[in-house]
Amino acid sequence: MLFTLKRDKKDSHSFLFMRSVGIVASDFYVPERIVTNKDIEKIVDTTDEWIWEHIGIRERRFAREDELTSDMAVAAGKKALKNAGLSANEVEMIFIATTSPDMLTPSTACIVQDKLGAKYAGAIDINNACSAFVYGLEIASKFVADSTYKNVLLIAVEKVSAALTVEDRTTYVFFGDGAGAAVLGEVERGYGLLGSYLRTDGSGAMDLCIPAGGIAMPPSEETLRNGMHSVKMNGRKIWDFTIEAFPDAVRSVLKKNGYSLKDVDMIIPHQANYNIIKEGMKRLGLPMEKTYTNMHKYGNTVGASIPIALHEAVEQGKIKKGDLVVLAGFGGGLTWGANLIRWSDGK
C-alpha cells in the first residue's frame, strides 16, 4: 500500500497519517537542601553581589550525598505520571536525559525503569548536556507519532553538584541539582510538537566537559588529584557561543516550520545565566515578558532546567492552550536547538 506524505505548513511535524504528539502532563523535583550565595561566599572566593549581577542566581539546590540521579528522576517521574492519571505499568518507553548518571553502565534509564516499577517499558539514556531535553523531546515524540507506543516518559535530571569542586569558582557558583519530567502522548490535531531544530559543533567539546572517568582518561590517582572528574568550563567561549546559539535556535525552528517571531507567545530557554537570556531576547527583538526564568532559585540545572521552567510557567498561567511556545537549549557538546510547540493543555 502506498502512502502520500503531505505536510501542513502550520503543522510540519505531523504527517497526515501520524499522531500529533504533545506533553500531556509534567512536573519536577528539586532536593530539599538550599544553598544560597551567602553560603557559597563563605567557602569560595566570590560574593553574593557578584553572582547575582553576573549570573542572576540567588540560591540553588544540592542533593544529599545518598540521593542519586535516579532517585531524583523517579521523584519527578512519579509526580508527572500522577498528573497524567497514569500508572507506571502504562509507560511503554522511558528516556533519561542526564550527564550525571548513577554509573557508566547500566544506563540510568534502566535503573529508573526498575525503581518506578514500569515493568513494560523500554529505557534509553540521552547525554546532550544543556540541550538534552530539547533533543529528547524530538526523539521521544517519534515513538508516539508513529503509533509504536501510546505513553512515553521523558525525564531530564542532573546531580551536577557531585561533579563540582569548591576550589573552582568558575563552575561552583553556577549549578544546581534537579529533575523535570514530561509525559508524551497523542494530542488534538494541530497541537503539540510542530517541529524541532537540532545542531552540534563538536569542535568546542572541551569548552564544557568532565575530562576524566571515561575511556579516554580512566580514573587514576593523577586524575583524582588534579580534579579531572569535575566540570571544566571555558566561560568566555561558552558565553560567546550561547549568545549566538540561543537566538539562532529560536529563529531557525520558526523559519523551518513557517512561523515568525511575531507568532511566538512564550520562549522557555535553558536557564544558564540571566544575562545570556536577556542578551538573547534583545537580539531576537522580543521583550523579557515573552520568556520565563527561574535560575534565581534553582541555579543552572543543565538539561533539567527547561522542563522545570516549562512546568512552572504552565502552572502560573504564563502558557495557555493554543500558545505557540519555543523551548531553546544550548550548552555542552557544543549543542543547541529548539522545539516548537502549539500548547495543548493536556490530552
Where in the sequence numbering do the catalytic residues fall?
130, 270, 300
Closest CA relative to residue 308, chosen from 141, 161, 176? 176
Find all residues with CB under 8 Å of 111, minimum gap 6, and list them: 70, 102
Rounded Cα–Cα distance for residues 141 and 24 (Å): 12
In three-state secondary structure terms, 337 is: strand
Rg (CA), the chain: 19
The Cβ-side half-sphere exposure at 39, using a 13 Å CA radius, reads 13
Q: Is 234 exposed, middle or buried (0-12, 13-18, 19+ CB in 10 A)?
A: middle
Q: Which residues contact 226 (CB under 8 A, 6 or more apart)?
A: none
CA distance 57 to 37: 8
Cα(118)–Cα(110) distance, integer angstroms: 10
Q: Three cell numbers at 118?
A: 514500569
Nearest to 85 by CA among 304, 347, 309: 347
Q: What is the DSSP string of 67-129?
A: --HHHHHHHHHHHHHHHHT--GGG--EEEEE-SS-SSSSS-HHHHHHHHHT-TT-EEEEE--G
